Amino acid sequence: MALITLRRNLCHLSDFRIHGALAALKNHPVIHVHKVAEERLCPWFCSPQSEPFKVRFRHGCCKKFHSENGNDLHPVGEPVFSQAHDWDRPEQNLKSVDEQMFYGRLNNFTSSEEVLSFISALQTLPDTLVAGALHRICEVEKKDGDQKPPKEILKNSVFQALCIRCEQESSSLPDTVLVTALHALTLLHVDPQSSLLLNLVAECQRRLKRGGLEVHSLCILGESLIKLQGPGCATLELIIYQLQGEKLEEFTPEDIVALYRILQACTEKVDQHQAFLNKLNNFSLSIVYNLSPTLISQMISALVVLDQTQALPLVIKLGKYAVRHIPHFTNEELRKVLEAFIYFGHSDRFFTKALEQHVASVCLTLDPEVVSKVMEYCSRKHILSKPILDAVAETFVCQSEKFLPHQISELIEPFGKLNYLPPNASALFRKLENMLLTHFNSFPPKTLLKILHSCSLIECHPVNFMAKIFSPCFLQKLQGEELFLDKLSLAQLTQLFLTSVLECPFYKGQKLLPKYQVRSFLTPCSSLETPLDFHLYRSVKIGLIDLLGARVYFASKVLTPYCYTIDVEIKVDEEGLVLPFTVREDVHKRVALCIDDPKRFSLDSKHLLGKEAIKQRHLRLLGYHVVQIPYYEIKMLKSRVELVEYLQRKLFPQNVGIRW
């Protein structure tokens, strides 16, 4: 990105030349240059606390190049450069060479040595290309995540000459060259207190106060100062103020995203900039189609950090265009997009479809954090995607050792939540059991409880671990330093204990102490039971009154002694008479109506969620006659008469006469 703009803005300076790397060396004895360079440069690379800063920088030339052998890029329609090409002749002068071809050659290098060797072969080097050369060095050195450049670069005479030139000529460098050089040296972890950076920063500040820095230079300078001085520096406020005064229509898409990144670093002042952010969010709707995968990821990630929940139209549009880029996202970029969708509660069926195809084809090569984020996305939005779940299950069986405890939890929980067993379920849960047995103490207590509870939802009962999690020792670890266990953990423990009693009668181990048992599974977060939908219940209630004759013959929201809350309960005696709900004697059968609204199913499906499936399973084991009244059957009824007939068939399928 930086080089494109640099080339675009400064190509008209072709007649402006100052001595290049070799010229600088020729004007000073070699020993003197080395001495001066080492004195100046050695303190620059001494800041181990500096963190890596990702290079944001596109090569526009690459679009006009193609590869003949997979390695060597050359301009389309022009001969391939050979080792004996004029580029490599020391006497070659850039005045006669197209600047775009220079960048094409520069961007083809894969090491700093190649870049510096290429620069040293040039008799003169335009100052417009000094920053470009530094940026390319920075890029090739950062590709492997190195913290600092190797010492060989520091001692390289050409690199030393470039740095000395930047420092000595700072006042005469064009704006874009100055800020781009500062940015490149910042990315190379030059010491912020070195004379080199102090001079460059001081010169940038002088020009900033005078005004006149163009938008792209302001954006580059802003990101450099965040890296060097942190988001609290006073100069950054001036940069943001000047950017707010510019017309957004004059910003390139790269500059818009850079502005988001700058504001993202100032989250404590987001309220102060909210009016400008609203304007920026609205304008960004018009440029989404121009964004690359990297820029889409960066913009949507900034919206999360800045908590722009009111910018949902922008999030939706970013999601729409992200669909076509899914195969091109890096692992980190895809993770950020999924994280944003989870944060904003957004899902898109086209995005999900594209994600299915991508995950199914490359799941074994995805980073574990991305895999767990994909599963979290499906889980949060109740998306029962069999291609994704099957691929993830296969990945875990093959590469379980790559996953950390929290990633395993995020991977396993959706299977229970979505009530789905993959084709390799036996291998999946056997692998999980072996990992838990081997690394039991490595799992945080709450993480372990979530995993085991999720297994029980789909009838993969963790019998071998029940005695351990019901033990006072584990319960004490689970409570930690808190005075009491949280309600969700207590509810999960209680449901696991109820499962051991109802579905695992052969289990004779440790029981859960009464003080750790809850009375109701209706937790504040509705994790174990979904509350009754009022509108759907009202429709069913009208039909029940018509069918049974009075409201007294059924009760709603009945809390059972077994912690479950029944939507509607009807009592029937031995002769088939429907009894008033106040009667406690002579009850032969209890009918539990489960009035299931869309929230109790996977998204756009008729597949019950795990918590609803286990509830109905347990109620049957407790002796209830469970009758499911799903929303998709109710909405098909066109009249009140049809509703009564429907309830008649559901409640009394044997056509027994109803008496009350």
- pLDDT the model gives residue 151: 60
Give the domain range for residue 619.
Answer: 534-651
Asked whether residue 256 is domain-assigned, the answer is no
Of 217, 246, 279, which one is at a domain's C-terminal end? 217
Of 175, 192, 217, at which residue does a domain stop? Answer: 217
97-111, 254-268, 477-491, 496-510: which has the minimum mean pLDDT?
97-111
Centre a 10 Å sphere on the Cβ of residue 402 and count the other Cβ atoms it contains.
12
Q: How far apart are CA 308 and CA 311, in angstroms?
A: 5
Residue 636 lies in a domain: yes
DSSP code of residue 100? H
pLDDT of residue 512: 95
Neighbours of 453 (CB within 10 A): 26
Sign of CA dihedral 46, 49, 52, 53: negative
Q: Measure the CA–CA gap between 167 and 173, rounded to whole angstroms.
A: 10
Q: How many CB atoms lie within 10 A of CB 115?
A: 26
Dist CA 415 CA 382 (whole Å): 11
Q: Which two tokens stand for residue 441?
A: 């103490």
- Residue 657 within a domain: no
Task: Report d(CA 101, CA 76) in Å as an integer.
Answer: 11
d(CA 216, CA 180): 10
Ranking 97-101, 174-178, 355-359 by mean pLDDT, the lowest is 97-101
- Average model confidence (pLDDT) across the chain: 82
Structure confidence by residue, pLDDT tens digits, 200-249: 899 899 999 888 799 999 999 999 999 888 888 888 999 999 999 999 99
3-class DSSP string for 179-245 = HHHHHHHHHCCCCCCCHHHHHHHHHHHHHHHHCCCCHHHHHHHHHHHHHHHCCCCHHHHHHHHHHHC
**Domain annotation covers residue 243:** no
DSSP 455: H
Residue 442: CB atoms within 10 A of its CB come to 12
For the chain, the farthest-separated pair of C-alpha atoms sits apart, in whole angstroms, at: 113
Q: Classify residue 37: in a domain, yes or no.
A: yes
* 604 or 97, greater pLDDT: 604
Q: φ and ψ at 200, to 5 degrees? A: -65, -45
Residue whose token pair is 């004895």: 29
Strand partners, 451: none
> 572 in helix, strand or coil?
strand
Domain total for the chain?
2
User: Which domain-ending residue is among 217, 243, 268?
Assistant: 217
Residue 461 lies in a domain: no
d(CA 74, CA 61): 10
Flag whether 480 is in a domain: no
314 — pLDDT class (breaks 50, 70, 90): very high
Q: Can you give the pLDDT at residue 127? A: 66
| Residue 463 lies inside a defined structural domain of this protein | no
Q: Distance (Å, rounded) from C-alpha 546 to C-alpha 554?
A: 12
pLDDT band (50, 70, 90) for residue 585: confident
Q: Dump pLDDT digits (tens) for 124-170.
A: 666 667 777 777 777 777 665 445 555 666 666 677 677 777 777 77
